[in-house]
Structure 1
Amino acid sequence: MAFHLIAAYHRAQQYDIEFKPPTPSVYGIIGGAGSFAVIGARIVAGAEHGKAVSWILDVGSDFPADMMSTILSWNTGCIIREDKSRQTTRAWNGYGENEKRDFKYLTPKLRLDPWMLSDAQIFSKTFHMVCSSERCMLIVQDILQRQKSAGLGRSARPIFVWEPVPDLCTPEEHVKFLEACRVVDVVSPNELELGMMFGRPGWNETNEDDRKLVQSILLSGIGPESQGTLVIRAGKDGSYSYSKGQKGLWLPAYHQSQSGQASKVVDPTGAGNSFLGALAQGMISQGRKPSHVINDVLASSDAWNEIKFQWGNDGQVPKALVCATVVAGFVVEQIGVPTISTAEDGSELWNETGFSERLRNYTQRLCTTLKQLPQNHEWMKN
C-alpha cells in the first residue's frame, strides 16, 4: 500500500490559477498537492493495485459533485471525511517569470496528522509528504512510533519521500533542511527551491558551485544510513538525481521541444507533485508491469545496465524515476488532472493513451539517448 500523507500544508482540493498574460486565468480546478500526488501514484499502480493508493479527502459543504465523480473514477483507497460546517479548502496559484509559482490559501486549510491514519494506512510501504523540515521530522517519528506500538510483526521501515514546502525554502531553514534529510529516503526540491534554500537564485547542474552544493548535502546525509537520494526536479530539463557513492543520473523530461511542432505542455501545475507520487509508487513496483517494460526495452543498453549496477537493487530508484518522468508528461498536457478512460479491450487509458505504452515510448528514446551520451558526460562522473 502507498499512502500519501500531505502534511502541514494540506493542498486545496479546489484551486484557481492566475497565469501570466495573455494566458487566461482558470477557477475551481481539481488539484492540490494531495490530488496530484495520488494521480501520480495511481497511474503507476494501474487498475490492479489502484486501491492500494490510500489517502484522505476532506470535503466541505461546497465540494462540487462533478469533482467528486472524477476522484471516485480513479478507484483509489480514498477515505472521504465530510464536514458540512466548513468550506472545502481552496487555494490560488500565480505564475510569473521562468514558471516561478506563488501560492496562497483562499479558505482555511486543514492539517493532516499521523494520528488520523488508520492501522492499515500506518503500515503503508511508502509515504509522500509535502511539509516543512520540522514537520517532516515529526511525521516520520510519529509514524515509526505508531508502527512500533502496533507491532503485528511488521518491522520493515517504510520509504519516506519528502517534498519541502516551497515557502520555507529559505536560507534560514537550510540547517533544519539538512536535519530532515537524514530521516527520509528521498528528498526532492525543484531547482529554484534548492537554490533559494542556500541563498542562491536557483540551481544549475553545469555550475561547479551548485555541484559542490549537492555533494555537501550528500555528505551531510540523506536517510538514516546516508544512502538516500536527492532528486532535483528541473521542469522542462527533466530531473537530476544523486546518492552518496553513486554516479549522478539525469533523465530528460517526457515532452521535448521539437522544431516546427507545437508544444504539448499546457500547464506545469501539479507535475512535481505527481512526479513524486509516481516515484513513491515506483519504488515498490519491482516485479510489476512497469518494471518489466523498462527492463525489456533497456536490457541491451550498456549505459543502463551500468546505472542499475551502480544504484543497486536492480535499479529500483532509476526505474522509479523513469516512471515518475512519464507520469509528469501526462499531467502537463492540460489544466488540472489527466483524464482516465477505458479502451475497447478493457485496458486503462490516461489522456487516451496507456501508461505502459508511454513508458515503452520513453524508454526507447532513453535507450538511444543513453547510447549517445559520452562516457565522460557530467552525470556519469562520480
Structure 2
Amino acid sequence: MSTTQSSPNPSTQDVDFCTLGMFILDDIEFGEGIPPVKGALGGAASFAVVGARMVAGREHSQSVSWIVDVGSDFPNDVLDVIRSWSTKCVIREDQGRLTTRAWNGYGPNEKRDFKYLTPKLRLEPDMLSEEQVFSRTFHMVCSSVRCVSIVQKVLERREQLLQKGYVPSSPAAAERPLFIWEPVPDLCTPEEQERFLTAARVVDVVSPNELELGMMFGRPGWDEKNEDDRELVRKILKSGIGADGNGTLVIRAGKDGSYSYSQGHGIWLPAYHQPDPSNPPPVVDPTGGGNSFLGALAEGMISQGRTPVETIESVLAQSGSWKNILQTWGKDGQIPLALICATVAAGFVVEQIGVPKISEKDGKELWNGSEFTERVRLYTQRLYRTLEQSPQRHQLAI
C-alpha cells in the first residue's frame, strides 16, 4: 500500500477536524421511478469533510484532515473532486483491493437501507498521522463499543506521543479534543441501549437522527411534541453525555431541522430549506446530509473569530432572545453558533446527488454557485426574525 498527501500545497495549519468515517463509492436507489445512480462519491467521511470544509473556508482548508483508501478501480474524476477541496487528505493506494462500495436504498420518510457491495476497510486510530491524532475535533460513525474504543485509543496515542517528547503545533492542539459521535443506524436497537448510554458518556456530542433515537428505545421514531419522547431525552441527559456529564444530544430531524439538548436547556433550529408550496425547495437527495451536518458542527465548535461565526454574531447582535440562548448554554455557547453552520452546510449537500460542486468566481469560493458565508447570513437573518416574533419556538424545555 502506498500513501500520498493529496494537497499540492501542504501547510503547517493545525488539524481542526479529523474523521474516522470511511470513504465509499455509493450506488443509490430512490424508488418512485427515479433512475438509480452508480459510483457516486460518498461515505460518511466524504460528506463530513465537505461540511467541515465549508465552515473552514479556503483560508483554513488544510485544517480539515482525513484518509481516503483507493483501490484498483478508483475513478480519476473522483480523485480530482477530492483534490479540488484542498484538504489535508491522506490517500492510501492499494492496487490489490477494490475501493469500498455500498448500496443505499430509500423508502418512505427518508428511511435508508444500506449494505456493502465490496469489503470495507475500517479506519483505526493507529492509522492516523501524528498531526491527525492531535486534531481538535474527531467525527465517528460507529457502534457504541467501537466509539468507546476509538476515544480511548486516540487519547492513549496522544499521551504516548507527549511522553516521547512530541510537541503539538499549538496549545489548542494539546487540549483534550472534542468527540462527535454518530451512532451506526443498524445498531440503534433496544438491545444496544445500555451500550449507547455508556458510549455517550465518553463523547462531547452524540447525534442520532429522530428515527434512530426512537428505534434505540423501541419506538417507531421520536417527536419533540410527545411527552414520552421528551422523557427519552431526559433519560439520556440524566445518564450523562461527556466526561463531565454536560455534553450535547443533537437529534437530526431532516426537513424539520434539529433539536439539541444539554443539561437544563435545549434549542430547535429549522432546516435551511423550508417547505414552500409556491416555490418547492431544491432538495434532491438526503444522502450525506447528516454526515455533513456533523462535520460542519465539529468545525464550527472551534471556529471562534472566523468569518462564518463572526457573521452569525453580527446578524444576531441585537437579538435579546439570542443573547438569552447563549447565556443559557453558558460555556457551551459555541454549540448554538456551530449548529447554524451545520444547518447551512447540510442545506448544500441535499441539493444534488453526491457532494456539492466547488468553484470560484471573482476571487470568491462558491458551493453550488453560492458562498457559504452568504447563506449563513441569509439563514441567520431568517432566524433573527423568528426569534423576535416567537422566541419560545426555539428554546426547548426539558
* Normalised TM-score (structure 1): 0.96
Structure-to-structure mapping, 1:293-332, within 5 angstroms: 293-313=311-331, 315-332=333-350
Partner of residue 250, structure 1: 268
The answer to whether the 8 Å contact 1:4/1:34 transfers is: no
AA aligned opposite 2:359? S
Structure 1 residue 50 corresponds to structure 2 residue 79 = no
Structure 1 residue 77 corresponds to structure 2 residue 88 = yes
User: Alignment partner for residue 227 of structure 2, among 208, 233, 238?
Assistant: 208
The answer to whether the 8 Å contact 2:19/2:48 transfers is: no
The answer to whether the 8 Å contact 1:341/1:350 transfers is: yes
SS in 1 for 2:156: helix
Partner of residue 350, structure 1: 367
Partner of residue 143, structure 1: 154
User: Alignment partner for residue 341 of structure 1, among 350, 359, 376?
Assistant: 359
- What is the deviation of 1:359? 0.3
Spell out, residue by residue over 1:47-70, the C-alpha distance to the aligned partner (whole angstroms, 9 max, x if none).
011011000000001100100000
Structure 1 residue 370 corresponds to structure 2 residue 381 = no
Partner of residue 31, structure 2: 20
User: Alignment partner for residue 230 of structure 1, among 232, 236, 249?
Assistant: 249
Runs of 4+ in 1 over 6 A off after TM superposition: none
* Partners of 2:220 and 2:310 in 1: CA distance: 40
* Partners of 2:243 and 2:373 in 1: CA distance: 34
- What is the deviation of 1:381? 2.7
Partner of residue 379, structure 1: 395
Partner of residue 10, structure 2: none
SS in 1 for 2:303: coil
The answer to whether the 8 Å contact 2:47/2:291 transfers is: yes
SS in 1 for 2:203: coil
Structure 1 residue 280 corresponds to structure 2 residue 298 = yes
AA aligned opposite 2:126? W
SS in 2 for 1:145: helix
SS in 1 for 2:313: helix
* Partners of 2:284 and 2:240 in 1: CA distance: 37
SS in 2 for 1:205: coil
- The count of residues paired between Structure 1 and Structure 2 equals 376
Structure 1 residue 108 corresponds to structure 2 residue 125 = no
SS in 2 for 1:4: strand
The answer to whether the 8 Å contact 2:23/2:69 transfers is: no
Spell out, residue by residue over 1:93-139, the C-alpha distance to the aligned partner (whole angstroms, 9 max, x if none).
00001110000000000011001111111010000000000000000
**Gaps spanning 5+ residues in structure 2: where?**
1-14, 169-173
AA aligned opposite 1:253? A
The answer to whether the 8 Å contact 2:17/2:52 transfers is: no
User: Alignment partner for residue 206 of structure 2, among 183, 187, 198?
Assistant: 187
The answer to whether the 8 Å contact 2:267/2:394 transfers is: no
Question: What is the Cα-based RMSD across aligned positions, in Å?
Answer: 1.2
Structure-to-structure mapping, 1:121-200, within 5 angstroms: 121-151=132-162, 152=166, 155-200=174-219
The answer to whether the 8 Å contact 2:17/2:138 transfers is: yes
* Partners of 1:348 and 1:205 in 2: CA distance: 37
Change beyond 3 A, Cα 1:148–1:314? closer
The answer to whether the 8 Å contact 1:160/1:186 transfers is: yes
Structure 1 residue 4 corresponds to structure 2 residue 11 = no
* Normalised TM-score (structure 2): 0.92
What is the aligned-residue identity percentage? Answer: 65
The answer to whether the 8 Å contact 1:203/1:210 transfers is: yes
- What is the deviation of 1:25? 1.0
